[in-house]
Structure 1
Amino acid sequence: MAAPLMEKLSDYLGSPEPAVRLILSILIGYPFALLYRRYLFHHPPYIVHLFHTFSGLGLAAFNFGSQLYHSAVCIVVQFLLLRLMGRTVTAVLSSFLFQMMYLMFGYYYTATDQYDIKWTMPHCVLALKLVGLSFDFYDGGKEASQLSADQQKGALSTVPSLLEVLGFSYFYGGFLVGPQFTLRSYLKLTSGELTDCPGQPPNSVFPAMKRFSLGLVCLAIFTVGSPYYSDSYFLTDEYEAQPFWYRCVYILLWAKINLYKYVSCWVIAEGVCILCGLGYNGKDANGVDQWDACANMLVWQYETTPLFTGTISSFNINTNAWVARHVFKRLKFLGNKMASQVATLMFLAVWHGLHSGYILCFSMEFIIVTVERKAMALVKDSPLLTRLSASPLYPLIYCVQQFIHWLFMGYPLVPFCLFTYDKWLKVYSCWCLGKEGMRKKRNRKLGLLGWSIQPESD
Structure 2
Amino acid sequence: MEWLHLLFLHPVSLYQGAAFPFALLFNYLCIMDSFSVHARYLFLLAGGGALALAAMGPYAVLVFIPAVCTVALLCSLGPQEVHRWTFFFQMSWQTLCHLGLHYTEYYLQEPPSMRFCITLSSLMLLTQRVTSLSLDICEGKVEAASGGIRSRSSLSEHLCKALPYFSYLLFFPALLGGPLCSFQQFQACVRRSDSWCPRHSLWALSWRGLQILGLECLKAAVRRVVSAGAGLTTCQQLECVHVMWATAGLFKLTYYSQWILDDSLLRAAGFGPEFGQSSGEEEYVPDGDIWTLETTHRISLFARKWNQSTARWLRRLVFQHSKVWPLVQTFAFSAWWHGLHPGQLLGFLCWAVMVEADYLIHNCANVFIGSWPMRLLYRTLAWAHTQLIIAYIMLAVEARSLSSLWLLCNSYNSVFPLVYGILLFLLAKRRHQFN
TM bin, normalised by shorter chain, reads 0.7 to 0.9
Please show how residues 324-335 of structure 1 align to structure 2 within 5 Å.
Answer: 324-331=315-322, 334=323
Where does residue 185 of structure 2 map in the other structure?
Answer: 185
Q: For each residue in 1:216-260, what CA deviation from the matched residue of structure 2 results, as whole angstroms up to 9, or x when unmatched?
A: 322333344335437x96452x22xx2x22111221121122122
Where does residue 416 of structure 1 map in the other structure?
Answer: 397
User: Unmatched 5+ residue regions in structure 2?
Assistant: 146-159, 416-435
Q: Which amino acid aligns with 2:303?
A: I
Cα distance between partner residues in 1 of 2:283 and 2:23: 17
Q: For each residue in 1:335-355, what CA deviation from the matched residue of structure 2 results, as whole angstroms up to 9, or x when unmatched?
A: x4xx11111111001100121
Where does residue 214 of structure 2 map in the other structure?
Answer: 217
Cα distance between partner residues in 1 of 2:6 and 2:249: 21
Q: For each residue in 1:151-201, what CA deviation from the matched residue of structure 2 results, as whole angstroms up to 9, or x when unmatched?
A: xxxx212438322122212222211023211111111111016xxxx3446
Larger relative contact order (Cα-Cα within 8 Å, sequence gap ≥ 6)? 2
Where does residue 407 of structure 1 map in the other structure?
Answer: 388
Please show how residues 301-312 of structure 1 align to structure 2 within 5 Å.
Answer: 301-312=292-303
Where does residue 30 of structure 1 map in the other structure?
Answer: 20
The TM-score with structure 2 as length reference comes to: 0.79
Greater shift, 321-330 or 270-279, is seen at 270-279
Greater shift, 295-304 or 400-409, is seen at 400-409
Cα distance between partner residues in 2 of 1:433 and 1:222: 25
Deviation at 1:402, TM superposition (A): 2.8
Confirm or deny that 1:118 pairs with 2:136. no
Contact 1:307–1:405 (8 Å) recurs in 2: yes
Cα distance between partner residues in 2 of 1:213 and 1:298: 16
Confirm or deny that 1:108 pairs with 2:99. yes
Cα distance between partner residues in 2 of 1:372 and 1:395: 17
Cα distance between partner residues in 2 of 1:16 and 1:431: 24
Deviation at 1:32, TM superposition (A): 2.0
Where does residue 386 of structure 1 map in the other structure?
Answer: 370
Cα distance between partner residues in 1 of 2:74 and 2:189: 22
User: Unmatched 5+ residue regions in structure 1?
Assistant: 1-13, 141-154, 285-290, 435-458
Distance 1:260 1:249, change over 3 A: same
Q: Which amino acid aligns with 2:37?
A: P
Contact 1:358–1:419 (8 Å) recurs in 2: no
Where does residue 74 of structure 2 map in the other structure?
Answer: 82
Q: Which amino acid aligns with 1:179?
A: P
Q: Which amino acid aligns with 1:72?
A: F
Please show how residues 263-342 of structure 1 align to structure 2 within 5 Å.
Answer: 263-281=256-274, 293-331=284-322, 334=323, 336=324, 339-342=325-328
Confirm or deny that 1:66 pairs with 2:58. yes
Distance 1:20 1:376, change over 3 A: closer
Where does residue 349 of structure 2 map in the other structure?
Answer: 363
**SS state at 1:207 partner:** helix
* Structure 1 residue ranges, 4+ long, deviating more than 4 angstroms after superposition: 14-20, 113-116, 199-203, 232-235, 281-284, 393-399
Cα distance between partner residues in 2 of 1:432 and 1:278: 42
Deviation at 1:263, TM superposition (A): 1.5
Cα distance between partner residues in 2 of 1:367 and 1:34: 44
Where does residue 37 of structure 2 map in the other structure?
Answer: 45
Distance 1:257 1:311, change over 3 A: same
Q: For each residue in 1:360-403, what CA deviation from the matched residue of structure 2 results, as whole angstroms up to 9, or x when unmatched?
A: 11111111112221111111111xx221xx22x76655543332
Where does residue 243 of structure 2 map in the other structure?
Answer: 250
Where does residue 208 of structure 1 map in the other structure?
Answer: 205
Q: Which amino acid aligns with 1:35?
A: L
Q: Which amino acid aligns with 1:376?
A: H
Where does residue 86 of structure 2 map in the other structure?
Answer: 95
Greater shift, 269-278 or 102-111, is seen at 269-278
Confirm or deny that 1:130 pairs with 2:130. yes
Cα distance between partner residues in 2 of 1:224 and 1:270: 25
Cα distance between partner residues in 2 of 1:22 and 1:212: 16
Cα distance between partner residues in 1 of 2:338 and 2:10: 22
The TM-score with structure 1 as length reference comes to: 0.76
Deviation at 1:21, TM superposition (A): 2.8
Cα distance between partner residues in 1 of 2:65 and 2:396: 32
Q: Which amino acid aligns with 2:211?
A: L
Where does residue 259 of structure 1 map in the other structure?
Answer: 252
Q: Which amino acid aligns with 2:118?
A: K
Q: Which amino acid aligns with 1:269?
A: D
Query: For the pair shown, which has the larger CA radius of gyration, 1 or 2?
Result: 1
Cα distance between partner residues in 2 of 1:294 and 1:315: 12
Contact 2:392–2:414 (8 Å) recurs in 1: no
Contact 2:188–2:275 (8 Å) recurs in 1: no
Deviation at 1:132, TM superposition (A): 1.6
Contact 1:226–1:258 (8 Å) recurs in 2: no
Cα distance between partner residues in 1 of 2:42 and 2:276: 30
Deviation at 1:294, TM superposition (A): 4.2
Cα distance between partner residues in 2 of 1:109 and 1:316: 26
Please show how residues 229-240 of structure 1 align to structure 2 within 5 Å.
Answer: 229=226, 234=231, 236=233, 238-239=234-235
Q: Which amino acid aligns with 1:250?
A: V
Greater shift, 415-424 or 56-65, is seen at 415-424
Contact 1:45–1:190 (8 Å) recurs in 2: yes
Q: Which amino acid aligns with 1:25?
A: Y
Where does residue 428 of structure 1 map in the other structure?
Answer: 409
Deviation at 1:283, TM superposition (A): 12
Contact 2:287–2:307 (8 Å) recurs in 1: yes
